């Protein structure tokens, strides 16, 4: 097993700390019924969730090795790539910008402060609305900055 797919992670996130019946998982995630069922079965086979008394729950006995595998750096990278690729390929309801920008030191500091403010805003907004929004109605937001040279090195040699 190498991490979780984005869809599997959505199922796991919908469960949180409580158990849910199938209908509630499907409602929370918005995943098509037959796909949702198949994902749940795959997660049961992987030992990540269990089924008891018509309720699905996160398996409390997941080994630390499996937890590291599904939440580790490689798993998060793969999930991020999957999500970003899906967003880029969407034809509607997306807002994203990617551009190379010349920033002097002063402007870079200002931009980093703006990113910090954005992160604080998103954290507060998430805490405020987390209990009132279903998982399927949440937003995916990504942001950041890197040097062109570092990105080029990553593409060329994987550094």
CA Rg, the chain, in Å?
19
With 60 as the cut, is the pLDDT of residue 17 above it?
Answer: yes
pLDDT value at position 48? 92
Q: What pLDDT, on a 0 to 100 scale, did the predictor assign at position 94?
A: 67
Confidence at 34, pLDDT banded by 50, 70, 90: very high
Number of domains in the chain: 2
Q: Write down which residue in 45, 60, 92 finishes a domain.
A: 92
Q: Could you tell me if 81 and 19 lie in one domain?
A: yes
Q: Is the pLDDT of residue 154 over 70?
A: yes
Instruction: Kindly report the CATH number assigned to the domain that includes residue 29.
Output: 1.10.10.10
Same domain, 36 and 108: no
Model pLDDT for residues 135-145, shown as the tens digit of each residue: 888 888 888 88
- Cα–Cα distance, 148 to 152 (Å, whole number): 6
**At 33, is the pLDDT very low, low, confident or very high (cuts 50, 70, 90)?**
very high
User: Of residues 81 and 118, which shows the higher confidence score?
Assistant: 118
**Is the pTM of the predicted complex or chain greater than 0.75?**
no
Residue showing tokens 């919908």: 14
Q: Both 8 and 61 in a single domain?
A: yes
- Same-domain check for residues 86 and 116: no
Backbone angles phi, psi at 84, to 5 degrees: -65, -40
| 35 and 77 co-located in one domain | yes
- Same domain flag for 61 and 125: no
Average pLDDT over residues 99-128: 94
Q: How confident is the model at residue 1 (pLDDT cuts 50, 70, 90)?
A: very low
Q: What's the distance, Cα to Cα, between the start and end of the chain in Å? A: 25
Residues 41 and 105 in one domain: no
Cα angle: 143, vertex 80, 62; to 5 degrees: 130
Q: Stretch 75-80: mean pLDDT, rounded?
A: 85
Q: For residue 57, what are the β-bridge partners?
A: 50
Name the residue range of residue 83's domain: 1-92
């Amino acid at each position: 097993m190498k991490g979780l797919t984005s869809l599997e992670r959505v199922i796991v996130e919908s469960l949180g700390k409580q158990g849910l019946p199938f209908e509630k998982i499907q409602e929370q995630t918005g995943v098509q019924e037959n796909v949702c069922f198949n994902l749940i079965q795959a997660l049961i086979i992987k030992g990540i969730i269990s089924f008891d008394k018509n309720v699905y729950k996160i398996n409390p006995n997941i080994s630390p090795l499996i937890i590291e595998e599904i939440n580790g750096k490689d798993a998060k990278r793969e999930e991020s790539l999957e999500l970003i690729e899906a967003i880029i390929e969407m034809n509607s309801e997306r807002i994203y910008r990617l551009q190379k920008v010349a920033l002097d030191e002063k402007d870079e500091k200002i931009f980093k402060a703006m990113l910090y403010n954005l992160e604080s805003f998103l954290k507060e907004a998430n805490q405020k609305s987390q209990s009132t929004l279903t998982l399927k109605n949440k937003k995916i937001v990504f942001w950041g900055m890197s040097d062109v040279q570092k990105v080029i090195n990553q593409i060329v040699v994987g550094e």
